[in-house]
Amino acid sequence: MCGIVGITSFQNVVPRILKGLACLEYRGYDSAGIATIDDGNFEVRRAVGKLKNLKDVTHLNPLQGNIGVGHTRWATHGVPNEINAHPHSNDYVSVVHNGIIENHAELRKSLENKGYVFVSQTDTEVIVYLFTEYLKEGKEPLLALQSVLGDITGAFAFAIILKQNPDVMLVARQGSPLVIGIGQDEMYIGSDALVVSLWTDKVIYLNEGDYAILTPASYQVYNQKHHKISVEVKTVEFKENAVGKGNYNHFMQKEIFEQPKVIGETLLHYADHENFTTKLTTKADWKNAPRLSIVACGTSYYAGMVAKYWFEKYAHIPVDVDIASEFRYRDGVFLDKGITLVISQSGETIDTLMALTLATEQKQQTIAIVNVPESSIARLASDVLMTYAGPEIGVASTKAFTAQLTVLANIVIYAARQRGVMSLTQEKELLTDLFTVPGLIMTVLQNEAEVHKIALSLEKADGVLFIGRGTNFPVALEGALKLKEISYIHAEGYAAGELKHGPIALIDQETPVIVNAPSNDKWFEKTLSNVQEVVARGATVICLVDVIGQQALEANHIPNITLKMPMCSTFVAPIVYAISMQLIAYHTALLRGTDVDQPRNLAKSVTVE
Ligand code: AGP
C-alpha cells in the first residue's frame, strides 16, 4: 500500500516530510520520493529501494521549500525504479497518488494524442497531464481538479502541488484513505492519522468523493457534488512512541511483547473484570440470525476460523468463514436477517472492504472488527468493534490477531447470551479464562531462549509443516503464514487429521513438523497419534505442549523438541499458542537475516486488488 504525506507551510517542510515518510514505511514500499516548490520551481528527488536511499539523494542534492509532498510507492503499474517512483511532475504540477486509476490506459492514449509524452509506466502520470491540460485551458486549480475527478475512475487518494500557486495543495479521496491535519499556520495531509499525528492532534478524515484545497492558513473541503462542506475535526491521541520501536530491535518484536497489555486493555473495554460479564453489545440481532458469515484475509481470516468453532459451540449459530477475495465473487446465498462479520487490522484491505460492500448491498447486518478508527471498513459497517491494539507497524500481524480473538470471544459470549444458550455461570467461566490470558502470554514470552533453539532447527529447512486439530488448526495455519511471510521459508498448516490424505507424503528426515497440542482439549489424543505417524516417517517434531502433554509424549516414547506451554483452557489456547507461533517466526527470520518488519513483496495493508 503506497503512502502519502504533504505539508503546506510558511517554513521549510523537507525534514518533516522525510520524517513523515519514515512513519509510512510500515505500509510496505519499494521506492520513495519528495517534491517541493522552492523559489517558484519544482525540486524533485526520488530513489528506488529503502527510504535511506532517498535520504542519501537529498543529502547529496539538498532541496527545500515551504510546500512539499512525499510518497512511498508499492508498485502496481510499472516496475519499482526511479522513473516510476512518485512524485510525478512536469512544469506545472507535481502529484503523489495511492490506489489505481482504472481507466488510465484510455486516458493515456488520449493525452498522447494531444502531444503529451509519458516517461513512466505508471497510471499516476495521467493525473499530471490531465491537470495540466485543464490549467492550459485557463481553469482555476479547483475547477481543474473537479474536471480531473470527472475523468478518472478507480480507487485513489492523491495530492497535487502547483507551480503557479506555490502555497496551494489540492487533495482528493476516492477509495483510498486520506487525512488532513490542522496545524498552526500550516496544514498537513497523510494516508493515515498516524503520520499527521507527528505534527498535530486535530485531523479531518475525508469521506468518499471528498476533495479539498489547502493553504498554510486555510482549508476547504468539498463533497463529490462539488458543494462546500463543513467537516468534523477529530482529536487523535497516539500513545507516546506509537511509531517508535522503543527498546526493541523491530516493530514486530515490540508488538509481540505488547500483547499482555493489549489483551488486557481490549478486555477491560469489553468485559467487566469484577463480575466477569461481557459489556460488549452489537446492534445486530443475534437471536433471530439464521447464519453468521465471517469474512477476512490472511491472519484476520485465521482469527475468523477460530471464531467459527467458538460461535458454533457456544452460540449454536451456523457459521461460514470465507476468504474475502473468494466471498466477493462466489455468488453466495444471503439469508434474511443474516449477519456478516468482517475482520481487518488496517480497515483498508480492499477485498474485505468490497466483501463488506456486497454484504451491505445484500441487506445483511454487518459488523466490523478493526484496529484503525475511521478506516474505510469502520466507516461502512453498521457495527464497529475496535481491537485497541494501538498502531501495528510490523507487516506481520501479531498483537492485532490476539486482540481480534479477544474481541471475537466477547462477541461469542454476547451472541450466546442473546440466543439464550449460555448461562451466566458459563459466561463468568469463559471470561475468567479470558482474564488469565495476559498472564499466560507473559509466561510464554519468557520462552525466548527455547524458541531460539527451535529457530536454529528451522533456519535451513526447505519446508515446514504446522499441524493442529480443532481451534489449534487455524493457529497452525497462522504459524505457517507468520513463518513464510517473514523468513521466506515455505511453510504449510494442516489439520492434523488431514495428513494421511496426502500431505504426509511430504514427510522425510528433513521435514520439521510443528504441533500445537494443548493436553486438556478433546483433540489431544488424536493429535498425539498424528505425531506418531510423522515421527515413524522420520520427521523432526516440535511439540508445543503443556506439562501434561509433555508427560504423554514421554510415556509414548515420542522423540521431539518440546516448547513448554502453560496450562490453559481450551477456550483461550488459540490466543496463548499464537504467541509461540509469532516468536518462532520472528527468531527464525532473525537467523535468516530477512527484513522482519517489511518483508519483501508485502504491504501492511493490501489496498489494491
Ligand atoms: C498477516 O501477518 C499479513 N500481514 C496479512 O495476511 C494480513 O493479515 C492480511 O493482509 C489482512 O490484513 P488486514 O487484517 O489489515 O485486513
Cα 106 to ligand 1 centroid, rounded to whole Å: 33
Tens digit of each residue's pLDDT (9 = 90 or more) over 119-142 = 999 999 999 999 999 999 999 999
Report CA(582)–ligand 1 centroid distance (Å). 14
Ligand 1 closest atom vs CA 485: 2
Phi and psi for 551 in degrees, rounded to 5? -65, -40
Same domain for 396 and 503?
A: no
For the Cβ of 581 lying below 6 angstroms from any atom of ligand 1, the answer is no
Q: Would you say residue 428 lies in a domain?
A: yes
Cell of 451: 524458541
CB 187 within 8 A of CB 8: yes
Instruction: Confirm or reject: Cβ of 298 under 6 Å from ligand 1.
Output: yes
Q: Is 528 helix (H, G, I), strand (E, B) or coil?
A: helix
The list of the chain residues with pLDDT below 70 reads 239-242
Domain range spanning residue 424?
Answer: 245-435
268 with 205, same domain: the answer is no
Whether the CB of 607 sits within 6 Å of ligand 1: no
The CATH code of the domain that includes 276 is 3.40.50.10490
Q: Which residues contact 151 (CB under 8 A, 6 or more apart)?
A: 103, 107, 130
Q: Is the dihedral of CA 515, 519, 525, 529 positive or negative?
A: positive
Residue 442 domain-assigned (yes or no):
no
Q: Whose CA is nearest to atom 3 of ligand 1?
A: 396
- 229 C-beta neighbours (distance < 10 Å), count: 12
Where a domain ends, among 374, 404, 435? 435
The residue to mutate among 252, 256, 297, 483, having the most atoms of ligand 1 within 8 angstroms of its beta carbon, is 297
Distance of CA 292 to the CA centre of its chain: 23
Q: Say whether both 26 and 65 belong to one domain.
A: yes
- For the CA of 346, the closest atom of ligand 1 is 15
In a domain, 440, yes or no: no
Are residues 410 and 270 part of one domain?
yes
Q: List Cβ neighbours of 566 (8 Å cut-off, separation of 6 or more).
A: 440, 443, 444, 546, 576
As to burial, measured by CB atoms within 10 angstroms (0-12 exposed, 13-18 middle, 19+ buried), residue 157 is buried
pTM of the model: 0.87
pLDDT of residue 239: 63
pLDDT score of 241: 61
Within a 13 Å sphere around the CA of 387, how many CA atoms are in the beta-carbon half?
Answer: 33
Verify that 398 and 473 share a domain, yes or no.
Answer: no
**Separation CA 514–CA 507 (nearest Å):** 12
Instruction: Kindly state whether residues 208 and 226 are assigned to the same domain.
Output: yes
Q: Distance, CA 300 to ligand 1 centroid (Å)?
A: 6
Our mutation pick for probing the ligand 1 site, out of 26, 295, 299, counting the most ligand atoms within 8 A of Cβ, is: 299
- Cα 92 off chain centre by: 36
- Are 426 and 550 part of one and the same domain? no
Is any atom of ligand 1 closer than 6 Å to the C-beta of 376?
no
**Hey, what's the cell of 543?**
511439540
Cα–Cα distance between 173 and 98 in angstroms, integer? Answer: 9
Exposed / middle / buried, residue 217 (Cβ in 10 Å: 0-12, 13-18, 19+): middle
- Same structural domain, 460 and 542: yes
In a domain, 332, yes or no: yes
Residues with catalytic function: 2, 604
**Distance between Cα 400 and ligand 1 center (Å):** 9
What own/partner pairs with CB < 8 Å and gap ≥ 24 does 110-113 have? none
Q: What is the CATH number of the domain that holds 82?
A: 3.60.20.10
pLDDT score of 242: 66
- For ligand 1, the distance from its centroid to the CA atom of residue 1, given in whole angstroms, is 12
Q: Is residue 161 part of a domain?
A: yes
Distances (CA, A) of 466 to 434, 539, 560: 25, 12, 14
> For residues 156 and 97, is the Cβ–Cβ distance under 8 A?
yes
Q: What is the rounded CA–CA span in Å between residue 431 and residue 507? A: 40
Last residue of a domain, one of 221, 238, 255: 238
Could you tell me if 251 and 234 lie in one domain? no
153 and 174 share one domain? yes
In the reported structure, the alpha carbon of residue 424 is separated from the centroid of ligand 1 by a whole-number distance in angstroms of 35
CB atoms near residue 201 (< 10 Å): 14
pLDDT for 576 equals 98
Do 43 and 12 lie in one domain? The reply is yes
Nearest to 4 by CA among 131, 68, 97: 97
Residue 72 lies in a domain: yes
323 CA to middle of ligand 1, Å?
A: 11
> Three-state DSSP class for 272?
strand
Residue 300 Cβ < 6 Å to ligand 1: yes
Residue ID of nearest Cα to ligand 1 atom 5? 298
Contact 217, 67 (CB under 8 A): no
Whether residue 255 is found in the same domain as residue 110: no
Which of 250, 350, 397, 487 is the best mutation target for the ligand 1 pocket, counting ligand atoms within 8 Å of the beta carbon and taking the most? 397
Radius of gyration of the chain (CA): 26
The DSSP result for 189-215, as a single string, is EESSHHHHTTT-SEEEEPPTT-EEEEE
Q: pLDDT digits over 408-421, tens only?
A: 999 999 999 999 99
**Going by CA atoms, what residue is nearest to atom 6 of ligand 1?**
298
Looking at the DSSP assignment, which residues form a beta bridge with residue 162? 93, 165
Final residue before a domain boundary, out of 396, 414, 435: 435
pLDDT value at residue 191: 94
Query: How far is the CA of 101 from the CAs of 24, 91, 122, 177, 500, in angstroms?
Result: 22, 22, 9, 15, 47
* 443 in a structural domain: no
Q: How many structural domains comprise the chain?
A: 3
